[in-house]
């Protein structure tokens, strides 16, 4: 946090310097414009000796015009204008000082006027912090000198006169510096407010970052726990070939499955999909596992097991107001039959007898009604037959049209490979899924995916 604050303070200082330079640049343009208007063009047209005209043009007007152009087009040409402006000011100021001390009194007013403007530019450019003080001091000096000149009899008021130059110079200097001081004050207030706001923002960001890291740590632990409660795919059941694809949407999943060998030649497979996503759904899967573990080895039908699971879940967790769909299939290898029941789960795929068919799904979702009944279905399951059990995240997408297109694509992929072994069926299925998501955007998916493949090999 200290490192971030230090970096922020450095960045804010750089921003402040950049703003000050930008303000000074435009103030210099403002002052230079007055210089050109009131001094340069006026003096260019006044008759002078060749030497004096040359000095004025090359020491005053041309450098001033060059500085103005450089300042104006700085953003286009990216010239290092600070050094250039400083050099031009020194040339201009030196030329003016020479003319001020070596010219006749009649033109002193103009030279004084130009020199004051040059000093103004240098002050605004080099010392932006002292603009208000400079304005007050200048006002006092101008007033004192002006009164002294009046006492000495310099009362001419024509263009180029001493009094005229004093008035214009004083007004420009005082106005420019007061305006610059007000702008600087407002900028400083904004800077302080901005600084405090960014400090609070950094503190909030640090707090959020710490919270995020803790949540990520918790998610990692939850992911490990969830992985440990799911059965290992490497543990095969004699007479069956099994394959599982488990892909959480957010690191942890609301899907749960269990594969149990009740006795030799008899297996029970369970798959569930909790409502919602992320941590909430993952916690519900812990409850599902806990409740299912107490029932899964009972020698009752899949339909009766669902009925008892529903009653137990509602009695224990009614206040959570949460639900889940599930599907249970009992596989009798000796009798070559499957017995299954569904609780709000989509129809599953059976690849048997040379054709692909969808098993009956539906039924009342678990957690909704305590008196719900579930129907038991039977179907032959011969050697070489295969079954795909999955959650609806396989084809569920944000866009309904995309969802239907994906469903058709996956069914076509399964149909084309139904005579193949599970490995090839899964490879084709996942390839189709990956190609669809790449084409339509992976963000179109919004649910966990679990697929269990079962093949009768006995």
pLDDT value of position 32: 52
Write down the pLDDT at residue 279.
80
For residue 207, pLDDT beyond 80: yes
Residue with the two structure tokens 């009131």: 38
Whether 213 is in a domain gets the answer no
Q: What is the DSSP letter of 252?
A: B
Q: What is the pLDDT of residues 295-317, one digit of tens each?
A: 999 999 999 999 999 999 999 99
Q: 157 and 260, same structural domain?
A: no
Secondary structure letter of residue 237 according to DSSP:
P
pLDDT at 186 over 70: no
Which pLDDT band holds residue 381 (cuts at 50, 70, 90)? very high
Facing residues of 272 across strands?
Answer: 256, 326
Q: How far apart are CA 219 and CA 277, in angstroms?
A: 13
Domain contains 223: no
Q: Which residues contact 288 (CB under 8 A, 6 or more apart)?
A: 256, 272, 274, 313, 324, 326
Q: How many CB atoms lie within 10 A of CB 139?
A: 16
CATH number assigned to the domain comprising residue 376:
3.60.40.10
What is the predicted pLDDT for the residue at 44?
Answer: 47
Asked if residue 423 and residue 293 are part of one domain, the reply reads yes
Domain that holds residue 290: 232-456
Question: How would you class 208 by CB atoms within 10 Å of its CB: exposed for 0-12, middle for 13-18, buried for 19 or more?
Answer: exposed
CB-based contacts of 152: which residues, under 8 Å, 6+ apart? none
How does pLDDT run across 31-62, given as a tens digit for each residue?
Answer: 554 554 455 444 544 555 555 555 555 555 55
Number of domains within the chain: 2
> Given 151, 184, 201, which residue is the final one in a domain?
201
* 298, 434: one domain: yes
**Which whole number is the average pLDDT over 192-205?**
69
Task: Give a yes or no: residue 179 inside a domain.
Answer: yes
Average pLDDT over residues 190-197: 60
Verify that 112 and 160 share a domain, yes or no: yes
Q: Name the residue with tokens 């002078």.
A: 48
Tokens of 174: 């005082």
* Residue 295 maps to a domain: yes
Query: Do 195 and 239 fall within a single domain?
Result: no
Confidence (pLDDT) at 28 = 55
Highest mean pLDDT among 88-92, 156-160, 279-283, 427-431: 427-431
Half-sphere exposure of 361 (CA within 13 A, CB side): 19
Burial class (CB in 10 A: 0-12, 13-18, 19+), 238: exposed
What pLDDT does 278 receive? 76
**Whether residue 194 sits in one domain with residue 106:** yes
Task: State pLDDT tens for residues 262-300.
Answer: 999 999 999 999 987 778 888 898 999 999 999 999 999
**pLDDT, position 81:** 47
- Phi, psi for 299 (deg, rounded to 5): -85, 70
Residue 216 lies in a domain: no
What is the DSSP code (8-state) at residue 447? Answer: S
Domain membership of residue 326 (yes or no) is yes
**Model's pTM, two decimal places?**
0.57
For residue 362, give the DSSP letter: B
| Of 201, 222, 244, the domain-final residue | 201
Query: Is pLDDT at 12 greater than 80 in this prediction?
Result: no
161: tokens are 């006169």
What pLDDT, on the 0 to 100 scale, is given for residue 236?
A: 76
- Clarify whether residues 257 and 162 are in a common domain: no
CA–CA distance, 173 with 126 (Å, rounded to integer): 15
- Bridge partners, 250 (sequence order): 252
When mean pLDDT is compared over 19-33, 34-48, 143-157, 248-262, the highest value belongs to 248-262
Determine the number of helices (DSSP H) and then strands (DSSP E) in the chain. 13, 10
Yes or no: say if 240 and 233 are a contact pair by the CB < 8 Å rule. no
Which residue is listed with tokens 């059976």? 350
441 and 400 in a common domain: yes
H or E stretch at 221: helix 162-229
| Residue 6 burial (CB count, 10 A) | 10
3-class DSSP assignment, residue 328 = strand
Same domain, 275 and 321: yes
| Tokens coding 195 | 């600084």
Which domain-ending residue is among 201, 219, 241?
201
2-6, 41-45, 226-230, 273-277: the lowest-pLDDT one: 41-45
Residue 222: inside a domain, yes or no? Answer: no
Is the pLDDT confidence value at 125 over 60?
no
What confidence tens digit (pLDDT) does each residue in 99-116 have?
555 555 445 455 555 555
What tokens does 296 get? 């899964």
Distance CA 402, CA 423 (A): 26
Distance in angstroms (rounded) separating the CA atoms of residues 262 and 331: 10
Residue 84, Cα to own-chain centre: how many angstroms? 41
Do 196 and 252 lie in one domain? The reply is: no
- The more confidently predicted of residues 161 and 134 is 134
User: Is the same domain home to 167 and 247?
Assistant: no
Same domain, 160 and 265: no
Q: Are 39 and 110 in contact (CB under 8 A)?
A: yes
Assigned domain for 370 exists = yes
């Amino acid at each position: 946090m200290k490192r971030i604050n230090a970096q922020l303070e450095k960045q804010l200082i750089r921003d402040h310097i950049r703003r000050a330079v930008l303000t000074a640049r435009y103030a210099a343009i403002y002052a230079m414009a007055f210089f050109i208007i009131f001094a340069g063009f006026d003096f260019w047209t006044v008759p002078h000796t060749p030497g004096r005209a040359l000095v004025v043009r090359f020491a005053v007007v041309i450098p001033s015009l060059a500085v103005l152009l450089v300042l104006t087009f700085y953003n286009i040409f990216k010239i290092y204008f600070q050094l250039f402006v400083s050099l031009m000011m020194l040339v201009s100021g030196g030329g003016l000082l020479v003319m001020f001390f070596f010219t006749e009194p009649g033109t002193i007013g103009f030279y004084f006027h130009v020199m004051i403007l040059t000093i103004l530019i240098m002050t605004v450019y080099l010392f932006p912090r002292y603009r208000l003080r400079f304005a007050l001091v200048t006002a006092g000096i101008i007033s004192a000198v002006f009164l002294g000149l009046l006492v000495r009899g310099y009362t001419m008021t024509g263009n180029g006169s001493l009094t005229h130059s004093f008035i214009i110079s004083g007004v420009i200097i005082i106005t420019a510096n007061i305006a610059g001081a007000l702008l600087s004050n407002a900028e400083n207030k904004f800077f302080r407010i901005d600084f405090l706001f960014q400090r609070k923002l950094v503190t909030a960001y640090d707090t959020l970052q710490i919270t995020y890291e803790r949540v990520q740590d918790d998610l990692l632990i939850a992911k490990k726990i969830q992985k440990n409660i799911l059965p290992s795919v490497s543990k095969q059941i004699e007479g069956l070939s099994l394959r599982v694809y488990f892909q959480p949407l957010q690191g942890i999943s609301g899907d749960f499955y269990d594969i149990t060998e009740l006795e030799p030649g008899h297996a029970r497979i369970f798959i569930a999909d909790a409502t919602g996503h992320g941590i909430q759904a993952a916690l519900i899967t812990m409850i599902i596992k806990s409740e299912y573990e107490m029932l899964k080895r009972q020698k009752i039908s899949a339909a009766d097991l669902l009925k008892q699971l529903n009653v137990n879940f509602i009695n224990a967790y009614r206040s959570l107001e949460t639900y889940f769909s599930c599907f249970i299939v009992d596989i009798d290898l000796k009798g070559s039959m499957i017995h299954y029941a569904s609780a709000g789960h989509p129809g599953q795929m059976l690849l048997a007898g040379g054709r692909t068919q969808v098993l009956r799904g539906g039924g009342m979702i678990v957690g909704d009604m305590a008196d719900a009944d579930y129907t038991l279905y039977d179907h032959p399951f011969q050697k070489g037959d295969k079954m795909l059990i999955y959650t609806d995240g396989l084809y569920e997408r944000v866009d309904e049209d995309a969802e239907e297109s994906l469903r058709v694509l996956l069914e076509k992929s399964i149909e084309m490979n139904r005579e193949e072994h599970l490995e090839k069926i899964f490879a084709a299925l996942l390839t189709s899924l990956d190609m669809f998501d790449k084409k339509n955007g992976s963000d179109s998916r919004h649910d966990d995916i679990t697929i269990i493949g079962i093949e009768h090999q006995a």
